[in-house]
Structure 1
C-alpha cells in the first residue's frame, strides 16, 4: 500500500467518526482498507507510525506553581495579605507584639487556605490518570487470521479485535460479529444496565449510547463474544474526547467566587471608608496627634477584616469535595462543589445516574417455599431466611440446587476492591452470586466441581442462557474443549452432564415438566406455573 493512499484514507477515516455505525460492516472494512482476517504485521506498523499510539495524552498540563499562585488571587485573600503587611509594619513601628501576632496569624490563615486549595486541585488535575485507568493494557487482535495479544497502545484503525467476557475494550470499533455480546458502558454513558450488541447498520443520527453495533474504549464485556474492526484510536475515541474536555481550562467564575469577590471589594471599601472617617474626625478634634490618629485608624481597619472567612470557605468546600469523591464524582476545581450546590434544576437520565448500578435478590422461590434475602449492594454480608429462620443448605436440597444453578449458569464474579465489594460482569448475574454467598454456598467450590463444557448465550430472542457442566477435573475439560467439534460431541455423550438454564420465567416454566417440593420431584401443573408467575 502506498503512503499517499494511506494518508488519503486516514483523512477519510477522520471525517467518518460519526458515520461508522451507519455503514454495513463490509463498507467499513473497505473504507479502512482492512480484512476480516486482520492486518499483517508490516501494515499495522506503518499505520502505527503514521497515526500514532492508541493512548490518551495530556493536552495541557497545568504546572503546580500555577495552581499554587491561583490560591492568592481572590480579592478577600489579597485584602488579608495587605492586612498582614500593615499589622507587621504597625507592630514594628509601635513595638507592639499584639500587632505582630496578628500579622503572623493572618499569614498562617492565608497559607493554610492556599495549601488546602492547592492539595485538592492538584489531586483533581490527575483526573486524566483516572480516565487512563479505564483503558485496557492488552488487546487480542487477528494478525493474518491468527489471534495474538498486543499492547493496546499498538492498536490501529483496521485492526480486528476479538472480544470475550471479562475483556475491556481498547479502542472504538465497529462490530463484525456478535454472539450474545453484552457490554457495560457505564463508564461512557452512565447506563448501569448491560447493552446487548448487534451488527446491523443504524441511523446516522443515533446517539452514542444507542450505537449497538459499536464498542467503545474503556467499556467492559460482560458476556458473549464478538469481533470488531477498530475505527478510532487514542484521543479520537469517545473516551479520548472526554479526556480532552476534562483538560480544558475554563475561566468562568462560580456563583460563590463572584459573591466572595464582591464581598471582598465591599469589605475593602467599607473598611477604608471607616478608617478615613475615623482619621478625619480624630485630626479635626486633635490636630496635634495626626500620627496617632493614623495608626489608630489603620489598627481598627485591620481588626475589622474577617481573617477566618477564606479558610472557613475552603475547608467547607474541601469537606464537600471529599464526600463527593467517595461517591465516585470527579471534580477538578474546588469552587465547583458550591456551583453544583447552587443548581436548582439538574436534567439527566436517571438510569445509571441516580441509581447505583447494583442489583439485589430480595425473594427466592424454591418450590412452593419463599425465602427472604437481606443485605445491601454487593456486600456478601447478609442472610437468607425462611419463616424467620436461617436457611440450611445441607437440609434444603431445593434451595441448594436453585443457588447452584444461579452461580453455574453465570459469568459474573465477586471480588473486593480496596474498601468495597464489586462484581465483574452483569449486575443481575452478580446479584445471584451474592445471594448464594449470603446463603452460605461456596461459589468457588461449586464452579470447580462442575466446570462448564458448553454454553448457549443469552439472546433477546431466546430470553434465556444455557450452560452444560460435567463433574470432571478442569484439565480434562480443557482437553475435551480442544478437540474438533464432532469428536467433542461424542465424548460429551459419555459423561455425566448437567444442563443449567436461567432466563425469563415464562420461558423457563414452559420448558419444565417437574419441580421439587419438600425434597421430592413432582409433576409441574399449569396451576403450579400460574402460581410461580403471579
Structure 2
C-alpha cells in the first residue's frame, strides 16, 4: 500500500453522483441516468470497472489505476457542473421579517387589534385602546422571535457548506493531483488521508480497517466501520458500507481507495 508523506497509509475512492453512468456504445461516452439510490455500492469491482471504463481502474492493483484523462475530466465538469452545493435564492432580511406578519395567528391578532381600535373610537372606552396596544405588542414580539429562530435555522444550513473539504487528491492520467473539491467530477479516483473530510459521495474500491465519523449525517456517536466489499442489495443506501456521504469525517487505520 502507498504511504502518505506523514507515514500514514492512504485510501482511494470513486466519486459518484446520485445516479449511474451508463456506457453509450455509439459515442463511447457515459450517459447520466438518475437513480435512487445509486447502484455502485451494490456492484462487484468487475461491474464497477465495466461501468466506469474511462476511469481505467486496475482490478489487480487499485493503486496503479490510471483514472480519468484531463480531457474527459474537463468534459464531465462541463456536463455535470461543479461539485458544490447550489444555495437557494435568499430573501432579503427586511422582507423576511415582514413575511412573519403573514402568519395566520398573527393576522388574527392584528384583526382583533383593529376591532379594538374601532370599538375605542365608537365607545371611547380606554380599555379597548389598551387591549389594541397589548395585541400589537404581542404581534411584533412574536414576529421578532420567529424571525430570529428562522435566522438560526438558516445559519445551520450555511454551516454545512463550511464542512466540505476545500481540496482533495485525485488520480488522473496515472498521476496524483491536488484540486479544489468543486472541480471533482463523477468517475474521479479520489485519494484521502487520515483526518480528511470526504469531498463527495464515494464508493470504496480498497480499504482496511477504515472507520468514518458520520454523526453529522446519521447521528451515530461512534465511528462507523467501512468496507470495500459489495453491499447486499437489501442494505439501505445510508447503511451501505461502500459509500460515503460528502460530509463524513474519516477516522481510519489502514489504506483505502474509492471512486
Same fold? TM cut 0.5: yes
Note if contact 2:101-2:107 (Cα within 8 Å) is conserved in structure 1.
Answer: no
Within 2, Cα distance between the matches of 1:109 and 1:15?
Answer: 49
SS of 2:164's equivalent in the other structure is: coil
1:119-171 Cα shifts (integer Å, max 9, x gaps)? 21233134432332332121111122222221111111111111211010011
Partner of 2:73: 44
Unaligned runs of at least 5 residues, structure 2:
1-22, 57-64
SS of 1:125's equivalent in the other structure is: helix
Q: Given the alignment, which residue of 117, 138, 155 partners 1:88?
A: 117
Q: Offset at 1:44?
A: 0.9
- Superposed CA RMSD in Å reads 2.9
Partner of 1:219: 248
1:377-402 Cα shifts (integer Å, max 9, x gaps)? xxxxxxxxxxxxxxxxxxxxxxxxxx
Could you say if the C-alpha distance between residues 66 and 178 of structure 1 is closer, same or farther in structure 2, counting changes exceeding 3 Å? Answer: same
SS of 1:170's equivalent in the other structure is: coil
1:297-354 Cα shifts (integer Å, max 9, x gaps)? xxxxxxxxxxxxxxxxxxxxxxxxxxxxxxxxxxxxxxxxxxxxxxxxxxxxxxxxxx
Note if contact 1:20-1:28 (Cα within 8 Å) is conserved in structure 2.
Answer: yes
**TM-score of the superposed pair, with normalisation by structure 1:** 0.38
Partner of 2:179: 150
Q: Given the alignment, which residue of 50, 57, 61 partners 1:30?
A: 50
Note if contact 1:81-1:107 (Cα within 8 Å) is conserved in structure 2.
Answer: yes
Matches within 5 A, 1:305-454: none
Partner of 2:29: 6
Could you say if the C-alpha distance between residues 119 and 211 of structure 1 is closer, same or farther in structure 2, counting changes exceeding 3 Å? Answer: same
More relative contact order in 1 or in 2 (CA 8 Å, sep 6+)? 2
Q: Offset at 1:62?
A: 6.1
Within 2, Cα distance between the matches of 1:78 and 1:16?
Answer: 42
Note if contact 1:165-1:225 (Cα within 8 Å) is conserved in structure 2.
Answer: no
1:175 and 2:236 are equivalent in the alignment:
no
1:21 and 2:41 are equivalent in the alignment:
yes
Q: Given the alignment, which residue of 106, 114, 118 partners 2:135?
A: 106
SS of 2:140's equivalent in the other structure is: helix
Q: Offset at 1:95?
A: 5.1
Q: Given the alignment, which residue of 98, 101, 104 partners 1:74?
A: 104
SS of 2:157's equivalent in the other structure is: helix
1:10-64 Cα shifts (integer Å, max 9, x gaps)? 23xx348432112122321331231222222221111011011112224575665
Partner of 1:484: none
Aligned residues: 225
1:351-382 Cα shifts (integer Å, max 9, x gaps)? xxxxxxxxxxxxxxxxxxxxxxxxxxxxxxxx
Could you say if the C-alpha distance between residues 164 and 121 of structure 1 is closer, same or farther in structure 2, counting changes exceeding 3 Å? Answer: same
Within 2, Cα distance between the matches of 1:79 and 1:15?
Answer: 46
Note if contact 2:68-2:173 (Cα within 8 Å) is conserved in structure 1.
Answer: yes
Within 2, Cα distance between the matches of 1:60 and 1:130?
Answer: 17
Note if contact 1:72-1:114 (Cα within 8 Å) is conserved in structure 2.
Answer: no
Q: Which has the larger radius of gyration?
A: 1
Could you say if the C-alpha distance between residues 103 and 15 of structure 1 is closer, same or farther in structure 2, counting changes exceeding 3 Å? Answer: closer
1:197 and 2:226 are equivalent in the alignment:
yes
Unaligned runs of at least 5 residues, structure 1:
230-534
Within 2, Cα distance between the matches of 1:62 and 1:28?
Answer: 43
Could you say if the C-alpha distance between residues 214 and 79 of structure 1 is closer, same or farther in structure 2, counting changes exceeding 3 Å? Answer: closer
